[in-house]
């Protein structure tokens, strides 16, 4: 492990909001121009810090949605109704605003080309965010590693990055499976219902292919997916997980 | 300090109990780097090894026979949440370390699943750390580290290794899993020691 490369003091930086994109009624992507961004690895996150006029500050962590080589640093934020920070970021923040943050943080839930594959990316709700960074990175560097993606969302309307996922699925190296857990159009030809071992087996790789798997989403989703993969014979040491609160599966 | 346009925020209920940059949650979020392990209790052991004359192990039955403490503390996760008044039950590290004379100043906690974290041994003594197997009066859930986890509430919660299987005592400090990835080596929430250099 290249510890020396990771040990860099993380200072607070200011990014300028270039654009906000509505992903779903509850989710927005915020593109930031950052003057001295040191770069990141696909899958890492940043800490955002908001400051009120009286000096009160609060922080939250958000996964980076953009690839290391993208022009802007993007964060995708799901609005939690009882949240303190996400309603501000989704409802209030707009182009031209400045946002304070530091990072990148995290060195485990990351994918570098040298890690190889085959890759299995399993995302529930806004758990797709760091996986999107990996998918974009995969394309940007022209990786030949085959990828299977399994997305779980409540409905088609609540699936983030819908168009981008559909486009990427046209790539021979990339398979995208989508399961809708609450409502699906009658014409829906994807999967329905919550993930289970049968769906993981269909959408993923055989254990014998020794896949490298990244699972991200709410706790219950990640527990189900990771336990299901272990039961299918996946090597627990090649399953990386990231869990967070929020809903949307 | 740059004010964030349009942000007002909430205030911590009790700033004397909520470290800087933290917010209070009533949930008990789960953060783990990999799948949850499900060890068998009949082969479970807790071992203190490394810079000791002779390693000592406790089986699950041995561990259950040790004097227990029930206590209520606040916990602070580096991902920003703080949970107040959490009740645990388990065995004080003082009880376990009393069985293993050592001059070693450092410990590396090791767990099922391969997780490690480093802590100065002084931070595990004098009533500051426990191996807990009950949360809120019930056996600790696997996703929260059951059957047993380390609990060092005065440090960020990643130091409270889930699924703990023992301590490796060391004469020299050895960074653990998250510490190798750029998290702070010590992790005092009141000094906001989240990352390397904080």
Residues of A in contact with B7 (CB under 8 A): 50-52, 88, 92
A9 has a chain B CB within 8 A of its CB:
yes
Q: Do A9 and B1 touch (CB under 8 A)?
A: no
Average of pLDDT values for A166-189?
95
Domain ranges of chain B: 23-27+41-191
Q: Write down the pLDDT at residue B15.
A: 83
Architecture category of domain B23-27+41-191 in CATH: Alpha-Beta Complex (3.90)
Angle at CA of residue B79, ends B78 and B84, nearest 5°:
75
ω into A118 cis (within 30 of 0): yes
Whether residue A4 is predicted with pLDDT greater than 80 in this model: the reply is no
Give the pair of three-digit tokens for residue B182. 């750029």
- On chain A, the residues whose CB falls within 8 A of the CB of B162 are none
Whether residues A56 and B11 touch (CB distance < 8 A) is answered with yes
| Whole-Å CA distances, B180 to A18, B175, B176, B184, B193 | 34, 6, 6, 9, 15
> Is the separation of the CB atoms in A31 and A21 below 8 Å?
yes
Q: Which residues of chain A lie closer than 8 angstroms to B20, CB-CB?
A: 57
Shortest CA gap A157–chain B (Å): 27
Question: Taking CB atoms and an 8 Å cutoff, what residues of chain B touch A226?
Answer: 34-36
The full set of domains in chain A, from first to last, is 3-105 (2.40.30.10), 113-243 (3.40.50.80)
Q: Give the mean model confidence (pLDDT) for residues B182-189.
A: 96
| pLDDT band, very low/low/confident/very high, at A248 (cuts 50, 70, 90) | very low
In this complex, is the C-beta atom of B3 within 8 Å of any C-beta atom belonging to chain A?
yes
Nearest to A57 among B6, B21, B178 (CB): B21
Q: Which residue has the higher pLDDT, B32 or B95?
A: B95
pLDDT in tens, A27-44: 999 999 999 898 999 999
> Of the segments A70-79, B3-12, B20-29, which one has the largest average pLDDT value?
A70-79
Which chain B residue is nearest to residue A219, measuring alpha carbons? B30
Buried b (16+ CB within 10 A) or exposed e, B141-170: ebbbbbbbbbbbbbbbbbbbbbbbbbbbbb
pLDDT, one tens digit per residue, over B108-122 is 999 999 999 999 999
Whether A206 shows a pLDDT value over 60: the answer reads: yes
- Is A152's pLDDT higher than 60? yes
Reported as half-sphere exposure (CB side, CA atoms, 13 A), residue A178 has a value of 23
Please give the average per-residue pLDDT across A99-117, as a whole number: 94
Confidence of residue A1 (pLDDT cuts 50, 70, 90): very low
CA-based nearest residue in chain A for residue B177: A108
pLDDT recorded at residue A249? 39
Question: A119-124 and B130-135 as β-strands: parallel, antiparallel, unpaired?
Answer: unpaired
Token duo for residue A6? 């990771």
| Chain B nearest C-alpha distance from A187 (Å) | 35
**Cα B54 off chain centre by:** 25
Closest Cα partner for A199 from A167, A231, A173, A172? Answer: A231
Write down the pTM of the prediction: 0.93
Alpha-carbon torsion (B77, B175, A225, A174), positive or negative: positive
Whether residues B182 and A8 touch (CB distance < 8 A) is answered with: yes
- A119: Cβ–Cβ under 8 A, 6 or more apart, which residues? A111, A134, A138, A145, A146, A147, A148, A211, A212, A213, A214
CA distance A136 to A29: 15
Instruction: Give the list of residues 6+ apart from residue B49 with CB closer than 8 angstroms, or none.
Output: B55, B166, B167, B168, B169
**Do residue A59 and residue B80 have CB atoms under 8 angstroms apart?**
yes
Q: What is the pLDDT of residue A214?
A: 98
CB contact under 8 A, A107 and B182: yes
Q: From the list B35, B113, B195, which residue is nearest A227 (CB)?
A: B35
Q: B37-95: per-residue pLDDT in tens? A: 999 999 999 999 999 999 999 999 999 999 999 999 999 999 999 999 999 999 999 99
Instruction: Please state, rounded to an integer, the average pLDDT across all residues of chain B.
Output: 95
Element (H, E) at A103: strand A98-105
Residue B30's pLDDT is: 78
For position B31, what pLDDT does the model report?
81
Contact A244 B34 (CB under 8 A): no
- Which of B 87-146 lie inside 8 A of A, CB atoms? 113-114, 143
């Amino acid at each position: 492990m290249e510890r020396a490369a990771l040990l860099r003091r993380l200072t607070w930086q200011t990014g300028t909001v270039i654009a906000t994109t509505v992903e779903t009624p509850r989710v927005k992507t915020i593109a930031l121009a950052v003057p001295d961004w040191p770069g990141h690895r696909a899958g890492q996150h940043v800490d955002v810090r908001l400051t009120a006029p009286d000096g009160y500050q609060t922080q939250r962590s958000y996964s980076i949605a953009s690839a290391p080589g993208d022009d802007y640093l993007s964060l995708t934020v799901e609005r939690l109704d009882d949240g303190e920070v996400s309603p501000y970021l989704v409802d209030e923040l707009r182009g031209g605003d400045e946002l304070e943050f530091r990072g990148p943080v995290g060195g485990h839930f990351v994918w570098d080309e040298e890690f190889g594959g085959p890759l299995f990316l399993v995302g529930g709700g806004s758990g797709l965010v760091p996986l999107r960074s990996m998918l974009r990175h995969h394309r940007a560097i022209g990786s030949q590693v085959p990828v299977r993606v399994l997305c779980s969302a409540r409905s088609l309307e609540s699936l983030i990055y819908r168009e981008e996922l559909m486009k990427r699925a046209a790539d021979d190296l990339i398979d995208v499976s989508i399961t809708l857990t609450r409502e699906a159009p009658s014409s829906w030809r994807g999967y329905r219902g919550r993930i289970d071992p049968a769906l993981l087996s269909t959408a993923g790789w055989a254990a014998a292919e020794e896949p490298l798997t990244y699972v991200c989403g709410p706790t219950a989703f990640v527990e189900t997916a990771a336990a299901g993969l272990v039961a299918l014979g996946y090597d627990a040491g090649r399953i990386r997980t990231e869990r967070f609160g929020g809903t949307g599966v | 300090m740059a004010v964030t346009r349009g942000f007002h925020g909430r205030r911590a209920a009790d700033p004397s109990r909520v470290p800087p940059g933290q917010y209070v949650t009533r949930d008990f979020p789960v953060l783990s780097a990999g799948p949850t392990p499900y060890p068998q209790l009949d082969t479970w052991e807790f071992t203190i090894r490394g810079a000791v004359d002779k390693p000592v192990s406790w089986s699950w039955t041995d561990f259950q026979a040790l004097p227990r403490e029930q206590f209520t503390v606040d916990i602070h996760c580096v991902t920003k949440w703080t949970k107040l008044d959490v009740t645990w039950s388990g065995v004080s590290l003082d009880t376990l370390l009393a069985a293993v004379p050592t001059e070693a100043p450092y410990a590396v906690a090791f767990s099922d699943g391969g997780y490690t974290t480093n802590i100065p041994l002084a931070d595990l003594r004098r009533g500051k750390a426990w191996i807990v197997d009950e949360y809120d009066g019930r056996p600790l859930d696997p996703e929260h580290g059951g059957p047993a986890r380390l609990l060092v509430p005065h440090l960020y919660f990643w130091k409270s290794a889930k699924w703990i299987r023992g301590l490796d005592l060391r004469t020299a400090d050895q960074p653990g899993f998250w510490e190798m990835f750029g998290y702070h080596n010590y992790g005092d929430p009141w000094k906001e020691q989240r990352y390397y250099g904080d």
